[in-house]
Amino acid sequence: MRSLALVLHEFRFAQKVFWRNPASVFFTALLPVLFLLIFASIFGDDRIEELGGVKVTTYYIPAIVTLAVISATMVNLAMNVTIAREEGLLKRGRGTPLPPWVFIAGRVGNAIVISGVMLVVVTLIGKLLYDAPIPWERLPAVAVTLVVGATAFCCLGLALTVIIPSREAASAITNAITLPLYFLSGIFIPESEIPDGVLSFANHFPVRDFFEAFFAAYSPNTTGSGFEWGELAVVAAWGLAGFLIALRYFRWTPRNR
């Protein structure tokens, strides 16, 4: 019970830090919404015939949810944990009775909760503004995809801190990794406009698999439960690899001291 209380305390602290940081709120919560509004305004009610005639606005709901989840988990954790490490906060925390895993659990829980909030916000905006259908009958698939993806990208975010040398490099490295994958994986550009060779290349990375799993759960043309177990297995495997890397190489002390 004491460990659970400590995790909840760290979670509440991480929530306060996040919502009181305007930059974090903008880039993690508001920017995905702005992307949705921009893309929906540009493409309007166009349909993607290659995907069964699904409306572009409906296509962008799972796309932006994918972006928001990755931003709230991998990007947010990689940057914030690196900054905390370089400022000596992690090192000082190791000198307290607080178990190290509690610190990590609090921040991972914060990232997963923010992912859930963004899922609800983007879905409601899509329904209210663009009449994008809510996949009530496939909500279990949506929930499982969210949990698997958020957990896996949290692990990848912690693994990413291993290669980030300084707080100044945190933003540059995370954006250099994620932004190209957003374009190549069909997040920013409908996949019908992307060459097959590019999509094949993107299939080597978890962003593409995560998006495909979310799209299958959201698309009104999907038949069945909406679970894409193959894509989820790939995302989970990447998450496991990230967890093992973080477990072996994660640093609690600053690199530049």
pLDDT at 256: 67
Residue 1 pLDDT greater than 60, yes or no: no
Structure tokens at 79: 């940057």
pLDDT more than 90, % of the chain: 49
DSSP string, 161-184: TTT--SHHHHHHHHHHHHHHHHHH
The more confidently predicted of residues 80 and 256 is: 80
Reported confidence tier of residue 242, pLDDT bands at 50, 70, 90: very high
pLDDT at 60: 92
pLDDT at 88: 87
Reported confidence tier of residue 257, pLDDT bands at 50, 70, 90: low
Could you report the per-residue pLDDT of 24-48, keeping only the tens digit for each? Answer: 888 888 899 999 999 888 877 788 8
> Which range (11-25, 58-72, 220-234) has the least confidence?
11-25
Q: Rounded mean pLDDT of 41-63?
A: 85
Ranked by mean pLDDT, the top range of 23-37, 82-96, 224-238 is 224-238
Helix runs in the chain, H state only: 2-19, 22-25, 31-43, 56-70, 76-86, 89-94, 100-130, 139-160, 167-184, 196-202, 206-218, 229-249
pLDDT at 11: 85
Closest to 142 (Cα-Cα) out of 213, 71, 207: 213
Phi first, then psi, for residue 242 (nearest 5°) are -60, -40
Q: Rounded mean pLDDT of 181-210?
A: 91
Reported confidence tier of residue 18, pLDDT bands at 50, 70, 90: confident
